[in-house]
Structure 1
Amino acid sequence: MNLTQFLNTNTEKFPERAAIGFKKKEEWKEINWKNFRRMVFKTANALKNAGIAENDRVAIYSDNSAEWVVFDLAALSLGAVSVPIYSTNNREQAEYILNDSEAKIILVGNQEQYDAALEILQNSQYLKEIIISKKAVWIKKEHSQYLEDFIKKADENFDIAEKDDEDLATIIYTSGTTGVPKGVMLTHGNFHKCFDAHFDFFKFKNFEKEHSLAFLPLTHVFERSWTLLCLTGGAKVSFLENTKLIASCLTEVKPTMMCSVPRFYQKIYAGVNEMVAAGSDMKKKIFRFAMNTGSEVAELKRLGKSVPFGLNLKNAIANALVFKKIKNKMGGKLWFMPCGGASISPEVTKFFDAMGIHITVGYGLTETTATLTAFPFKNYEHGTAGISLGDTQIKIGENDEILAKGSGIMKGYYKKPTETAEVFTEDGWFKTGDAGRFDEKGNLMITDRIKDLMKTSNGKYIAPQPIENLLSNDNYINQVMVAAEGKPFVTALIIPNFEALKEQLPKLNIPFTSWEEVVKLDKVKDFYHQKIEEIQKQLSGFEKVKKFVLMPAEFEIGSGEITPTLKVKRNVVLAKYADLIEKMYLH
């Protein structure tokens, strides 16, 4: 069955209920299921009229938007294969993906993407047409038209193409922390079976009344799968186009669900703790009372036990005094928050649990259609990645590598038989590249990326992620990358949280000049040195960061230093700042 079949099912069930939400001219609008299906079908017919046939590739190079999802579903319902490209990719990266996938038509979102696509089209033997989602983009007429004009004359009646489980639905190019992007081939069956596994695992009640906010890039398998799962289950999805506006968007949209990466939760955790630390003794006392009460309640709920009346009463007070204010900044209605893309420390998940917001930690890859394991609603263990979903099987192979089998595993890498063969064992297990183990209760614990493990010159193994997580849980630290491979001790490149540091400067009697100058000042270095010493108390001597450099600017997606899910690309950063790292070992 074609995975877009939900368009018919949900339109028949609740034609007038809102399917998607989006912001237009500073106002949030919504489209009901009947009109949503109509738009998808008109777009599918327009693609067909433009010569797109089954199995042809259609690309999307845009920020999240209603048009993104309409175009994606139109291509899939036609039986074509959609190829998403990160909106932050530069022209060279986009060109590689377009040529490799042989995409014939591309949807772009902004001027920069349009200009890049037009340049690519002029030299491409495959790309024939550019569709532009917004009228704000200035276009040259050749091979270009606005989406509105593209679909204007198309019929709204459409029969969804028949597909079976093995038929290709999408090619997602991994931004990967190493090497050239590889096109992960995911089928209609991969998505279907993953969605079934999730609904079976979580057993949601009245899912069609939920409202999700699409905040992560739809190009990434996590948001794409989650958004499609929400739409399949009849929930409404609102699309945030500019991720920098997340704070105001949460209070406007008031979603009940949202998937995100650890950095989002770390920032809230660090910000709240910093605020409390700067508050009066009375405020600290109230906060401690609230956290202790909330933690007690969360622990009973985690174990599936009932909460005594007296404790519930205390928790209502904690909620009124502390938690409600924090929750309201997140819209006030969030209750289900899948989290993946990198590791998250147990301090952060326990903190949110105490507030009554459960972070559902999960683990998966693009190659596994996202989720392999996740926290169940009860009896989950903080600090783990949960238990497997659906028919997923997991075992630990050589070098503690996590191996997986199941319905979510990809068909392979597009046009890369050698690379495909390399990631499967002879008996068909997919090699994740992550190291892990099971705890005594059968929860999967991720120790690190195998490629990321570092061995010091003293023969000690360093797993960088837990150290980096520990440091970036602090409000004054935004990003961290530690180095230690073949070196006598651990060093780090640290990107400050510039907002928090700017507020701190007057207290240190430092006038702000430029970040290039500020991060080199001894007073600032001493401030961070004390912080890092304090944070690292619990680490073994050989794991502690002995020297660090404060960076004057954040790692950028555009320059390839981090992935779109904010994971540091170690090989890129190590190469780019090799001299800086080397200097730390000279003095």
Structure 2
Amino acid sequence: MNLAEAIIAHNVKKHPVKSAIGFKKKEEPWKELSWKKFSEIIFKTANALKTAGIQENDKIAIYSDNSAEWMIFDLASMVIGAVSVPVYSTNNAGQAEYIIQDSGAKIILVGNQAQYDACLELLQKDDNELQAIIVSKKAVWIKKEFSSYYLEDFISKASPKAEICKKEENDVATLIYTSGTTGTPKGVMLTHGNFKKALDAHFEFFKFKNFEEELSLAFLPLSHVFERSWTLLCLYGGARVYFLEDPKNIAKALEEVKPTMMCSVPRFFQKIYAAVLDKAEKSSPLKKKIFNWALATGWEASEFRRNEKPLPLGLKIRQAVADMLVFNTIKDKMGGRLWFLPCGGASLSPEVTQFFESVGIHITVGYGLTETTATLTLFPLTHFGHGTSGKPLPGVEIRFGENDEIQARGNGIMKGYYKRPEETRNAFTEDGWFKTGDAGKWDDHGNLIITDRIKDLMKTSNGKYVAPQQIENLLTNNNFIQQIILIAEGRQFVSALIVPDFEFLKDFIRDHNIPFTSWKEIVKNETVISFYKEKTKQLQHDLAEFEKVKKFTLMPAEFEINSGEVTPTLKVKRNVVLDKYRDIIEDMYS
């Protein structure tokens, strides 16, 4: 049942010379490793870890950006029966120290100088179990006298052959610390069985054809359960995975790698959607007319595909023309070959999924948590419902508890929180169902609809309930709002803190001849504020009156990870932001 055996042994035996992974170092071209070479490096790393004294069930941390070494270290840990502990590369020294100490990690892989320096300081303390630091890049300066080794040197003398440790399905494979929008991060214990059964369920659900020919680009953090699970699924099925170290280079990487699959978060799709619509809106009347015709044609064709009906000849011809005139340009910007895009982490408006379906790119919206090995429900390839979170995976059961809370049981449900028995008990009902903390319901076709986080539901002083995520999602489906936080709890009306998209704002102030002084001054400019008032009014047209944002404050800078306002998965920490900007909020109600 060892997940590493399920991934490595099968693929090495079936196609040893086929490419398994791809990677790129700075300005060098992309390189690939065959399954045989990939497995040899994994086994060398596993043997080196054993030589260093790592035993079965010991904890091994990974504190690095995405890289081939990240995945090699992860799988090598599984090979020897150890437990890998991902740390977000964006975590500061204090956050990393908490995870390393709480997990009791004995060895850690780091990727850059700041990560190494933070771990070196920790290594010299007596109140933790850290014994050695492994560094993936030789560009990092290390102090070898303090148990620090470059990965290349660490594995140089190790054997490329290894016996994979036998594991039962309930044995822990990894500890993933929740990013924690509230409270202290907890180590979620996911087992080999959780992963193996979840991966099998996905293949049963989708019934992919020629999956071994697919190519995925991993650009979300591997330290998050979503990208980690998706990447493991791709490798498990024999597809190639390319690792992008810096997500800021995603646009260039898409054109270079030309992936066919890639998981992402809603904001990625929202930005593309908004940019395309904005460009069409600013084009000539003829081009705008062609764009709208193509979009209508694409939508009509996508509905035939969604319902598994053959396209009429006339529609096929119109679709080909729409592709040639409009859609191929959009798809080429994304590499030209993408067709399957899992999306998770937050809700995604039906307008966005409908747009991409019209273009010919299928977004598979899903719902799940770290505690559920990512996926509980997701869009199938056909007969999905826009605006929903899809249908349950095979082996997943869902019911609704008090306050319509979504409760689940099945293959991917965690073993529990590491060293936190009371919090583990509180996470489950008395009869063993996991409590997600999200509210939801079924639609008429058996699709799950997420209504909101139960703890995030707001009640105004007039007794009206407001679901902030839906409204925040509506207001960020454009190219002028980057982030937004709604305020309504106990208030007489809804207000908001809005972070503008500063790239858009640069163009706006130039076009309106507004001299730039500082962003602090620009967000107070009456022309800018009037524009945002009009735009938010338009976007909220279909909302109930009590749901509409009546007042807002434009913020001069983004909410950031380093300031503690945003989690490593880019979710805004509502409580932190509300507390930090309490005075600004009170001014809107004074």
Which TM class, normalised by the smaller chain length? over 0.9
Q: Which amino acid aligns with 2:20?
A: A
Select which of 336, 344, 348 maps to 1:344.
348
Query: What pairs up with 1:44-63 in 2 under 5 angstroms?
Result: 44-63=46-65
Select which of 126, 129, 134 maps to 1:131.
134
Secondary structure at the aligned position of 1:171 is classed as strand
| Distance in 2 between residues matched to 1:531 and 1:508, nearest whole Å | 16
Q: CA deviation at 1:500?
A: 1.1
Q: Which amino acid aligns with 1:210?
A: E
1:446-469 deviation line (CA, Å, top 9, x unaligned): 000001100011110000011101
Select which of 419, 433, 440 maps to 2:437.
433
Moved more, 507-516 or 528-537: 507-516
| Distance in 1 between residues matched to 2:373 and 2:111, nearest whole Å | 25
| Distance in 1 between residues matched to 2:511 and 2:533, nearest whole Å | 17
| Distance in 1 between residues matched to 2:243 and 2:107, nearest whole Å | 23
Secondary structure at the aligned position of 1:293 is classed as helix
| Distance in 1 between residues matched to 2:509 and 2:280, nearest whole Å | 19
Secondary structure at the aligned position of 2:124 is classed as helix
Secondary structure at the aligned position of 2:377 is classed as strand
- Give the structure 2 partner of residue 154 of structure 1: 158
Q: Is the 8 A contact 2:179 2:569 kept in 1?
A: no
Q: CA deviation at 1:572?
A: 1.0
Query: What pairs up with 1:155-170 in 2 under 5 angstroms?
Result: 155-170=159-174
- Give the structure 2 partner of residue 66 of structure 1: 68
Q: CA deviation at 1:560?
A: 1.9
1:513-544 deviation line (CA, Å, top 9, x unaligned): 22111111111111111111111111111110
Q: CA deviation at 1:566?
A: 1.7
| Distance in 2 between residues matched to 1:96 and 1:125, nearest whole Å | 10
Select which of 28, 31, 34 maps to 1:32.
34
- Give the structure 2 partner of residue 75 of structure 1: 77
- Give the structure 2 partner of residue 376 of structure 1: 380
Q: Which amino acid aligns with 1:4?
A: A
Query: What pairs up with 1:239-258 in 2 under 5 angstroms?
Result: 239-258=243-262
| Distance in 2 between residues matched to 1:38 and 1:340, nearest whole Å | 33
Q: CA deviation at 1:507?
A: 2.1
2:564 counterpart of 1:553:
no
2:405 counterpart of 1:401:
yes
| Distance in 2 between residues matched to 1:474 and 1:539, nearest whole Å | 17
Secondary structure at the aligned position of 2:288 is classed as helix
Q: Which amino acid aligns with 1:122?
A: Q
Select which of 279, 282, 286 maps to 1:275.
279
Query: What pairs up with 1:511-550 in 2 under 5 angstroms?
Result: 511-550=515-554
| Distance in 2 between residues matched to 1:576 and 1:137, nearest whole Å | 36
| Distance in 1 between residues matched to 2:464 and 2:123, nearest whole Å | 51
Q: Where has structure 1 moved over 2 Å in runs of 4 or more? A: none
| Distance in 1 between residues matched to 2:458 and 2:62, nearest whole Å | 37
- Give the structure 1 partner of residue 14 of structure 2: 13
2:588 counterpart of 1:584:
yes
Select which of 445, 470, 474 maps to 2:474.
470
Q: CA deviation at 1:441?
A: 1.1
Q: Which amino acid aligns with 1:215?
A: F
> What are the ranges of 5 or more consecutive residues in structure 2 without an aligned counterpart?
none
- Give the structure 1 partner of residue 3 of structure 2: 3
- Give the structure 2 partner of residue 299 of structure 1: 303
1:146-194 deviation line (CA, Å, top 9, x unaligned): 0001000111110000001000100000002110000000000000000
Q: CA deviation at 1:64?
A: 0.3
Secondary structure at the aligned position of 2:49 is classed as helix
Secondary structure at the aligned position of 1:186 is classed as strand
- Give the structure 1 partner of residue 183 of structure 2: 179
Q: CA deviation at 1:25?
A: 4.0
Moved more, 562-571 or 313-322: 562-571
Q: Which amino acid aligns with 2:132?
A: E
- Give the structure 2 partner of residue 390 of structure 1: 394
Select which of 91, 105, 108 maps to 2:93.
91
Secondary structure at the aligned position of 2:91 is classed as coil
Query: What pairs up with 1:314-325 in 2 under 5 angstroms?
Result: 314-325=318-329
| Distance in 1 between residues matched to 2:253 and 2:455, nearest whole Å | 37
1:56-114 deviation line (CA, Å, top 9, x unaligned): 00000000000000000000111000000000111111111111100000000001111
Secondary structure at the aligned position of 2:341 is classed as strand
- Give the structure 2 partner of residue 575 of structure 1: 579
2:226 counterpart of 1:222:
yes
| CA RMSD across the alignment | 0.7
Secondary structure at the aligned position of 1:334 is classed as coil
Q: Which amino acid aligns with 1:18?
A: S
Secondary structure at the aligned position of 1:402 is classed as strand
| Distance in 1 between residues matched to 2:549 and 2:570, nearest whole Å | 22
| Distance in 1 between residues matched to 2:438 and 2:337, nearest whole Å | 34
Q: CA deviation at 1:564?
A: 2.1
Q: CA deviation at 1:563?
A: 1.8
Q: CA deviation at 1:125?
A: 2.9
| Distance in 2 between residues matched to 1:60 and 1:214, nearest whole Å | 16
Q: CA deviation at 1:472?
A: 0.4
Tell me the matched-pair count: 586
- Give the structure 2 partner of residue 23 of structure 1: 24
- Give the structure 1 partner of residue 459 of structure 2: 455
- Give the structure 2 partner of residue 209 of structure 1: 213
TM-score, normalised on structure 2? 0.99
- Give the structure 1 partner of residue 336 of structure 2: 332
| Distance in 2 between residues matched to 1:559 and 1:103, nearest whole Å | 26
> What are the ranges of 5 or more consecutive residues in structure 1 without an aligned counterpart?
none
1:212-267 deviation line (CA, Å, top 9, x unaligned): 00011000000000000100111000000000010111000000000000000000
| Distance in 2 between residues matched to 1:125 and 1:180, nearest whole Å | 19
| Distance in 1 between residues matched to 2:282 and 2:564, nearest whole Å | 36
TM-score, normalised on structure 1? 0.99
Q: CA deviation at 1:506?
A: 2.1
